[in-house]
Structure 1
């Protein structure tokens, strides 16, 4: 980084000689795909990429009305640059993406088939942003309310022909991509079957959960590799700087059932708290960092057409965005990007009209919900329990944020981030 900066600063001194020789002076930062900083404007040193899994425009609007009111804004909507991303996979059987193909497009710049984790359509491994950033000397980390080995984080830090191979994805974290901070759920995949950890097998809230790994005791391996391992809020708070593995649930950090059927969103540690800890640990690296943050609950509860919990998880996501935005405000070399991998539920924000009920059972309208600070209310309506193919919004803050203006394929994320994370 230092050599590149010196070369650019020295350019004005030699510009005349270069021109006289009939040559073209090349800005090495621009040649690498990253703009040279404007006077007083830093380049990108840190990237915080935030995924509201399953979140599209209607999810954001419902949350805005509920939490901020008619004239208010969510923190994610206050980010000054906005655009759109398409979400189509390269799948022989579907035009609608899943999370694996969606996140793989971000992490590799290549569209692939549903279920794929950063491999091409023939199953060949692709270079991935998390590993590339690590190889370039940056600290890396992931924070999620899903299993830490679930599709979205996995795409940035592993390669697999099948997203279900979560124990092998965990192994790849330790042996290949080596993220410095790993925080979220999914303890079951890090331990051999029949070897429960901090979270017991067959818990009352979900008897199907239990240790199921086939790669040995990966928690012990992580500790041998120098990771601090934590499983409670107190342990997380007390953990020092350096490599950190925190697993806070058997699987996801919530119970994603339909309304009134055991649906619970009450993570042991909040997404915002995990984000703060990750930033504390990663920010000590002089070369900068890459951090992936994900709220999985938006997707899971939208799959269940659960409006109450979808709004709750949107609120928690926005708290994590606020943590990232506050960090970037005092670290002007930090780029923050907020988007979703696809839309889930076909969510629509509707006026209160009891004669307009377009679904029954779990797909019935949810509400009414209050519009904060007003006499108005709204309903959330659903058209599916699956994914849809609509575009997703992207908002950004910091240097190079303007590159997300306009409409782009989801592979554009890689095109923007790869040059600043790897050179």
Structure 2
């Protein structure tokens, strides 16, 4: 069986701990241990425990630790949705649980099982007077960011999601891909239709020119890294790709992970912009490439996307050193691919079609090698790891549901 040497036993190494709050910004000041001025949620879409171990072994080796694994608190999360026909979650239902504290059916964004809108953490932070932001390497209107800032029955209604961003939820910073969902057909924007990386991509919006609408509402619109770096507005809309900021395909079939604006750069700009608010902020940062590459059983680019995500976590932790009143949560919404890590064994697999292993890969800093095996190209029902630090993080050091993660973050917001 392909799963007979799975590394998921490593989940037992997730020690459930809690941490004391770090010193405050000024002499003699100690932040309230369970209350956070800022909240940063970092989501590795599709990232299970084996994905984190794959990234670790390939990038820092057996003696190293990822930035996301150095946070003081660790736990794990059940991911099952409240779906009448499916046991395993999709990204929309999983993100809705994290964002709203309510389990729902697959495909639903920001609504309960009856289709009623449910307030999200981003909206609650906004109502507390905090600035808010969404950063992703996917479409900015894809399921995960959408669950934090919109309410629709169908995750594919991305133009309506974009409209709600601008006219109802009003996050201050929105950075990622998906320009095609903001513009009417046959009206390309800063990014041309039919790019060479994917000639099928073209403007396909259903709610008019939402880029122009955003500018009317005071957003500064940028479409490349130089424009983002030069932007000065407290309200930013950055659309840097027609769809996702990478090409997710099988290995050897045109897969590319080279975002025109790296996740770390988008996150850095978001932090600079949002942290100017004296009332604090809420920021969601998502790396979609882990999930999409795992859907294609593409371990090489799963590692690349995971390394980019961990570099972004490291950036956030540097920010926290100067802002200890910040709660940071690193999570996965579900596991994708049934990923396993195995010793190199030429007799283990036939190497044909969907049973093909990836590799061998070298363990960083050593001569050891391993292979990556997959059991599916879809999501699985495996629990996902969570690590956290900062005010309120001690509540997350346990076995829990995504809704419990929401509740702990909400309790920490002030």
Please give the TM-score of this superposition, normalised by the length of structure 1: 0.89
C-alpha deviation, 1:419, in angstroms: 2.9
Q: Note if 1:265 corresponds to 2:257.
A: yes
* 1:211 aligned partner: 203
Deviations 1:48-91 (A, max 9, x none): 00000000100000111111111110000011110000000000
C-alpha deviation, 1:407, in angstroms: 0.3
Q: Note if 1:101 corresponds to 2:88.
A: no
Structure 2 CA distance for aligned equivalents of residues 357 and 53 of structure 1: 28
* 1:124 aligned partner: 116
* 1:293 aligned partner: 285
C-alpha deviation, 1:184, in angstroms: 0.1
* 1:236 aligned partner: 228
Q: 1:40 aligns with which of 20, 30, 34?
A: 30
Q: Note if 1:252 corresponds to 2:244.
A: yes
Alignment of 1:185-224 (within 5 A): 185-224=177-216
* 1:72 aligned partner: 64
Structure 1 CA distance for aligned equivalents of residues 350 and 323 of structure 2: 48
3-state SS of paired residue (2:95): helix
Q: 1:171 aligns with which of 160, 163, 168?
A: 163
Q: Across the two proteins, how many residue pairs are aligned to each other?
A: 387
* 2:175 aligned partner: 183
Question: Residues 359 and 382 of structure 1 are in contact (CA less than 8 Å); yes or no, is this contact kept in structure 2?
Answer: no
C-alpha deviation, 1:174, in angstroms: 0.5
Q: 1:345 aligns with which of 315, 337, 350?
A: 337
C-alpha deviation, 1:363, in angstroms: 4.3
Deviations 1:287-320 (A, max 9, x none): 1000000000000000000010000100000011
Structure 2 CA distance for aligned equivalents of residues 210 and 132 of structure 1: 35
Q: 2:128 aligns with which of 136, 159, 169?
A: 136
Q: Could you list the runs of 4 or more consecutive aligned residues of structure 1 that deviate by over 3 angstroms after TM superposition?
A: none
CA RMSD, aligned part only?
A: 1.4
3-state SS of paired residue (2:308): helix
C-alpha deviation, 1:420, in angstroms: 3.1
* 1:84 aligned partner: 76
C-alpha deviation, 1:132, in angstroms: 1.6
C-alpha deviation, 1:411, in angstroms: 0.6
Question: Residues 66 and 369 of structure 1 are in contact (CA less than 8 Å); yes or no, is this contact kept in structure 2?
Answer: yes
* 2:366 aligned partner: 374
Structure 1 CA distance for aligned equivalents of residues 347 and 78 of structure 2: 34
Structure 2 CA distance for aligned equivalents of residues 89 and 57 of structure 1: 19
Deviations 1:308-357 (A, max 9, x none): 00001000000110111110111010011101000000000111111111
Structure 2 CA distance for aligned equivalents of residues 396 and 139 of structure 1: 21
Structure 2 CA distance for aligned equivalents of residues 358 and 273 of structure 1: 42
Q: 1:336 aligns with which of 325, 328, 331?
A: 328
* 2:348 aligned partner: 356
Please give the TM-score of this superposition, normalised by the length of structure 2: 0.91
> Which protein shows a greater Rg?
1
Question: Residues 363 and 385 of structure 1 are in contact (CA less than 8 Å); yes or no, is this contact kept in structure 2?
Answer: no
Question: Residues 363 and 384 of structure 1 are in contact (CA less than 8 Å); yes or no, is this contact kept in structure 2?
Answer: no
User: Does the C-alpha gap of structure 1 residues 363 and 271 become closer, same or farther in structure 2, counting only changes over 3 Å?
Assistant: farther
Q: Note if 1:113 corresponds to 2:105.
A: yes
C-alpha deviation, 1:204, in angstroms: 2.3
3-state SS of paired residue (1:418): helix
3-state SS of paired residue (2:107): coil
Structure 2 CA distance for aligned equivalents of residues 359 and 139 of structure 1: 51
C-alpha deviation, 1:212, in angstroms: 0.7
Structure 2 CA distance for aligned equivalents of residues 403 and 352 of structure 1: 40
Deviations 1:10-52 (A, max 9, x none): xxxxxxxxxxxxxxxxxxxxxxxxx9x9972443100000000
Which ranges of structure 2 fall in alignment gaps of 5 or more residues?
A: 1-20
Structure 2 CA distance for aligned equivalents of residues 132 and 119 of structure 1: 15
Q: 1:57 aligns with which of 49, 54, 57?
A: 49
* 1:29 aligned partner: none
Alignment of 1:273-284 (within 5 A): 273-284=265-276
